[in-house]
Amino acid sequence: MKNTLLVAWLCLMMLSMGMSLAQDAESTPEPVAPVSEGDYDILNFLLLGSDTNNQNNSGRTDVILIVSVNRSAGTVSLLSIPRDLYVYIPGWRLHRINTAYGHGESSDYEGGGAQLLADTIEYNLGIHIDFHARVDFEEFKQIIDAVGGIELTVDCTIQDWRLSEPDLDPVIEDNWEIFTLDAGVHNMDGDLALWYVRSRRTSSDFDRGRRQQDMMRALWRRILELDLLNQLPDIWGQVTEIVETNATLEDMAGLIPLALTIDTSRIAAFTFRPNVEVTFGNSPDGFNVLMPVHPAVEELVGQIMLPPTERQLVQEHTTIEVVNGSGVPGLEQVAADRLAWEGFVPQVSEEGAAFRNYTVIYDYTGQTKGSSIEALQAILRVSDEGVVLEPDPNREVDFRVILGGMYYSCTHGVLLPNPELETPDA
């Protein structure tokens, strides 16, 4: 009898401890301190993409992108927030961040789902959101098609399921096929652009955030090419028919002078990194989530608010010429955009070079301290044997890169496509 009571008592203690642990796991965290903006005039825009075509369903916001505009310094930074980031949603509970919008819509939160998501970001990341804009799948495709499509450089071959025709019923399994988009320069309509920014079969949510930022840069270039900013007063009504936003025409018109001066290659790009800003975990209700590592997150968030660091300025002022000796058309633009992603501002040579197998970097700087050569080697996958030192005080560029046929542009952990899955028409 005593043993039975002892076992019962231990079970109750373990149960109570388990309940306590669960409660601790779900306890409300303290809000993060607001990120310091210093003396800078900063506006933060929240861009959202919902995973739905249903006008009656707000869906989940699987695209969460912050555009931070430093009007004092004339700089722009992008931060992609992973959809599975585990955060406290004010007035509700700890949950994945992509559920905040839908909860705000269904619970009649003041300001709706976008405001609840903005408040969630401020509570957990310390970033105050000034304006938001949201589109769903169909609206995203409409935007891309309305500007006549976009030109995008793809540095990692992507393979995923895709409807063989955009208008086919997605419920019917036979309407799907494996589609492969090779590395290179591609002209994308709305349907292909949506497929590209959503795919994660051979990559990850982290890489998807990077591709979404690439898409935004390409769209911005297209907007500048068409001079749409100067036409904004005339087309604002059309914009707001597609885009749900709390910004007014007056709000946006005030940003046009700065927007016209922004070089898309100099837009700083930031993403959360696995095992740095986030770790993999499980929520108490069994969801796979990303747990924020707060000191690293605070450092990351601080970076997007500030002008370029000294390291970034070194890279921006490093002149690089990219020459195509690979025999693959367009690969020089892929390499140049890959370097731009890391903060360099390369120039593409209109003249090609004789075919070579391996990429070579000619270093004309003669520098051993503060040089960008190690970063270039890592990005372009060039060994020490592929670096040729030719110091030249009268140089026109600091580095000259000649791409070889073995150049592989993907350094983002994307899986190689499986040829056996491809169909003849893919």
Statement: residue 303 has pLDDT above 70: yes
Statement: residue 38 has pLDDT above 90: no
pLDDT value for 418: 77
Statement: residue 118 has pLDDT above 60: yes
CA dist 195 → 192, 299, 321 (Å): 5, 32, 32
Angle, in degrees to the nearest 10, between helices 331-341 and 373-380: 130
Statement: residue 289 has pLDDT above 60: yes
- Residue 342, token pair as written in the block: 């890391």
Please tell me the pTM assigned to this model. 0.85
Residues of the chain with CATH 3.30.420.590: 42-133+202-307
Residue 316: pLDDT band with limits 50, 70, 90: low
Alpha helices per DSSP H over 126-188 = 137-146
Answer positive or negative: Cα dihedral of 199, 204, 205, 206. negative
Extract the runs of DSSP E, i.e. beta strands, from 221-286. Answer: 244-245, 268-271, 278-282
Statement: residue 313 has pLDDT above 70: no
Answer positive or negative: Cα dihedral of 144, 150, 156, 158. positive
Statement: residue 315 has pLDDT above 70: no
Statement: residue 423 has pLDDT above 90: no
pLDDT value for 370: 66
* 42-133+202-307 classified as CATH 3.30.420.590: yes
pLDDT value for 19: 33
Residues of the chain with CATH 3.30.70: 312-403
3-state secondary structure of 422: coil
Helix (H) or strand (E) holding 79: strand 75-80
Statement: residue 417 has pLDDT above 70: yes
Amino acid at 150: I
Q: Which residue has the tokens 């935007």?
A: 143
CATH T-level fold of 312-403: Alpha-Beta Plaits (3.30.70)
